[in-house]
């Protein structure tokens, strides 16, 4: 406890799933947390859960606002508001993302655009907005949530794979450019993480359990990931314990990156 005392943190997509778990963990470690997403009611519920995880004696807060990361003006406004209210930004976790399926030859340009706008350019907009605030504070840490799909080709997921691969490369370029400013940039690439809403638009809530069941066996360790698995690694990557790590892409997938795309025999 207390490893992030005094740190101001932004978590995108902080209302559900991985983002909410990370915000919850960071708050328990002493951070002031600002979460954003597109649904205020979901953010409000997440805020209540995050605050309930404290010890009741905090002198910090959880700030929230609705933000569409595909809109530069909304991103800029949010980051500026957070920095002015709390004195800067120390940590950014780019978690907001969307996943859509389509065979390559059937993909429409609008689908390509949506996937890139949210999964690649969204994190870029946030990084660009927080950079001067981190630099002014003498450094910071950025964690970008990619996916196994960013380094392992999967059928019918060309747009998502491409957007996540681009996110990893962009992150590594930023790690090089910002190292002199004391800003570290790292990437987490999860396998299948359950208890998120990422697959809901594709399979529907009723179809998601079967999707989870089908993919669990693809992970050599025999299970899918949890949101806490990701929160654990994210916390490590923003603390002094990882102070000599930047530009890393860390698979967090139960060993799935070592395997083929086929279920075990």
**Residue 160 annotated in active site:** yes
Of 24, 63, 160, 212, the catalytic one is 160
**Torsion over CA: 54, 56, 61, 67 (sign):** positive
Q: Are 11 and 46 in contact (CB under 8 A)?
A: no
What is the SS3 string spanning the chain? CCCCCCCEEEEECCCCHHHHHHHHHHHHCCCEEEEEECCHHHHHHHHHHHHHCCCCCCCCCEEEEECCCCCHHHHHHHHHHHHHHHCCCCEEEECCCCCCCECHHHCCHHHHHHHHHHHHHHHHHHHHHHHHHHHHCCCEEEEEECCHHHCCCCCCEHHHHHHHHHHHHHHHHHHHHHHHHCEEEEEEEECCECCCCCCHHHHHHHHHHHHHHHHHCCCCCCCCECHHHHHHHHHHHHCHHHCCCCCCEEEECCCHHHCCCCCCC
Q: Is 46:16 a contact under the CB 8 Å cutoff?
A: yes
Active site residues: 160
């Amino acid at each position: 406890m207390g490893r992030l005392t005094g740190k101001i943190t932004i978590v995108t997509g902080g209302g559900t799933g991985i983002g909410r778990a990370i915000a919850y963990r960071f708050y328990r470690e002493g951070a002031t947390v600002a979460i954003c997403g597109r649904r205020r009611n979901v953010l409000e519920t997440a805020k209540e859960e995050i605050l309930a995880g404290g010890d009741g004696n905090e002198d910090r807060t959880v700030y929230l606002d609705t933000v569409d990361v595909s809109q530069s003006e909304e991103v800029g406004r949010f980051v500026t508001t957070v920095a002015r209210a709390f004195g800067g930004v120390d940590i950014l976790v780019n978690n907001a993302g969307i996943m859509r399926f389509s065979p390559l030859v059937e993909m429409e340009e609008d689908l390509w655009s949506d996937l890139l706008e949210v999964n690649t350019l969204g994190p870029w907009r946030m990084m660009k907005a927080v950079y001067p605030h981190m630099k002014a504070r003498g450094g910071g840490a950025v964690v970008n949530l990619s996916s196994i799909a960013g380094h392992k080709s999967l059928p019918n997921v060309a747009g998502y794979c491409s957007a996540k691969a681009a996110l990893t490369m962009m992150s590594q370029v930023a790690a090089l450019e910002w190292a002199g400013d004391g800003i570290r940039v790292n990437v987490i690439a999860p396998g299948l993480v359950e208890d998120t809403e990422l697959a809901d638009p594709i399979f529907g809530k009723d179809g998601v359990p079967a999707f989870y069941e089908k993919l669990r066996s693809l992970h050599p360790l025999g299970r899918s990931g949890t949101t806490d698995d990701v929160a654990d690694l994210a916390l490590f990557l923003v603390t002094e314990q990882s102070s000599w790590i930047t530009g890393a892409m860390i698979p967090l997938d139960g060993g799935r990156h070592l395997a083929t795309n086929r279920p075990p025999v």
